[in-house]
Structure 1
Amino acid sequence: MNALAQPGASPRATRTIQPAWVRIAHWLNALAVVLMMLSGWRIYDASPVFRDLVIPPSITLGGWLGGALQWHFAAMWLLFGNALFYLAMNIVTGRLRAKFFPLSPRAILHDLGEALRGRLSHADPSRYNAVQRFAYLFVMVDIAVLIVSGLVIWKSVQFPLLRELLGGYDRARVVHFCAMALLAGFIVVHLAMVALVPRSLLTMIRGR
């Protein structure tokens, strides 16, 4: 007698949707990004890029410029190391190609339209739709821009080529701030999607 015929047997076998290394990298990345963002806002307030925009101290981390820099640099190494690990594992395991490609503008627009009309299916949580693929690839590139522009701000003399590619030190600060703002926007949308499809949070915790 097979398992489906036995009383009380589960009708579907559980399967791993998010492997352990993905879940670990995801939560480490979330921690690093939050720490860097909160401490970065405190650093920004010490010398604002946009004079009319100041971040409320109550939502910053570090208490003062020196403390914020310590938090920022500590989280920077966590973000950098974790990003390298995540990218390397995605390439080595073939997950990058399987999960995020193929991708086309037509597919993105189609799935975006379906999502806005509430018709986008979430029947298979192991498969990313085109909007998710684009969003996750975008945030990978955005984090890379944050790291590169951050290096220029931190060690401008040591990375002259990167500094020139970004248009100089002052422009690198603008790039860094804009990349941070885009990342903050992604986080807001990401949390909204998790609220709409809460089982996606469960798969990132349990893997199944």
Structure 2
Amino acid sequence: MPVHPLPIRVFHWLNAFAMTCMATSGWAIYNASPLFGFTFPAWATLGGWLGGAVAWHFAAMWLLAGNGLFYLAYGLASGHFRRRFLPLSPSGIMTDLLAALKFRLPHEAGTYNAVQRLLYILVLLLGVLAVASGLAIWKPVQLWWLSAAFGDFATARYVHFLAMAGIVGFVAVHLILVVLVPRSLLPMLTGRHSSSHEVSS
């Protein structure tokens, strides 16, 4: 069995493209009406102007949502979620977290430790929260009940921004780990490791 089956690799790279478009176009939309006392530099944004950023954001949103639904269906039907994300317990998380802080966390190719399982579950939940809050912002009148679930339109904007910030933070850590352990990139390209075990921090 490959470390990462072909469907998982396809979902991963489509998601990477869609998330990059969503984040950078979202930053351009944010700059038009900032929530906090800062804006994003123009070179880090996508769309060129507000209308272009909105068009990119919605186009990427459909790709991300469709890809997410197929990933969810595959993960449940194939047992991928059960194999990769479970079991998960507070004691297991603390044990692996302490081992990681001491740079003594063993890693078996294709197997997630408890900290990784927790982070992947959290980022999936953040994805759901980002989609829900995004829909509440997009259609606040038609989906008034969804906007009301977040309190109001303004609160939904804050929730959407913070959910996306959490996802971007996860991606940033993910990329840093890839740079530190470049061998981890190979399985997501070919599906297989050059060796069956490796040790990383």
TM-score by length of structure 2 reads 0.93
Measure the CA separation in 1 of the matches of 2:101 and 2:182: 18
Q: 1:190 aligns with which of 174, 186, 190?
A: 174
% same residue: 53
CA distance in 2, matches of 1:43, 1:25: 26
Q: Residue 180 of structure 1: CA displacement?
A: 1.1
Q: Choose which of 141, 150, 155 in structure 1 pairs with 2:134.
A: 150
CA-to-partner distance for each residue in 1:38-74, whole Å, 9 max, x for gaps? 0000000101112x12111121010100000110000
Take 1:30 and 1:58, find their aligned partners in 2: how far apart are those partners?
Answer: 19
Q: Following TM superposition, by how much is the alpha carbon of 1:179 offset from its aligned partner in structure 2, in angstroms?
A: 0.6
> Which residue in 2 is equivalent to 1:63?
48
* Matched residue type, 2:113: N
How large is the RMSD of aligned CA atoms in angstroms? 0.9
1:22 equivalent in alignment to 2:8: yes
**Does 191-200 or 62-71 show the bigger shift?**
191-200
Q: CA deviation at 1:191?
A: 1.0
Superposed CA deviations along residues 55-112 of structure 1, whole A, max 9, x for unmatched, are: 1112101010000011000000000000000011000011111110110122112111
User: 1:86 and 2:71 equivalent?
Assistant: yes
Residues 1-208 of structure 1 correspond to what in structure 2 (within 5 A)?
15-50=1-36, 52-122=37-107, 124-208=108-192
CA distance in 1, matches of 2:181, 2:90: 24
Partner amino acid for 1:55?
F
Bigger mean CA deviation after superposition, 98-107 or 189-198: 189-198
**Within 1, Cα distance between the matches of 2:79 and 2:62?**
26
The unaligned stretches of length 5 or more in structure 1 are 1-14
1:120-158 deviation line (CA, Å, top 9, x unaligned): 112x21111001101111111111111110000001111
Counterpart amino acid of residue 114 in structure 2: A
CA offsets 1:157-201 (integer angstroms, 9 cap, x no match): 111221111111000000000011111110111112222322221
| Alpha-carbon distance in structure 2 between the residues aligned to 1:125 and 1:199 | 10
What amino acid does structure 2 have at the position aligned with 1:30? A
Q: Structure 1 length normalisation: TM-score? A: 0.90
1:134 partner SS: helix
Distance 2:3 2:41 in 1: 40
Matches of 2:163 and 2:7 in 1, distance apart? 26
Distance 1:176 1:110 in 2: 32
Give the total of aligned pairs.
Answer: 192
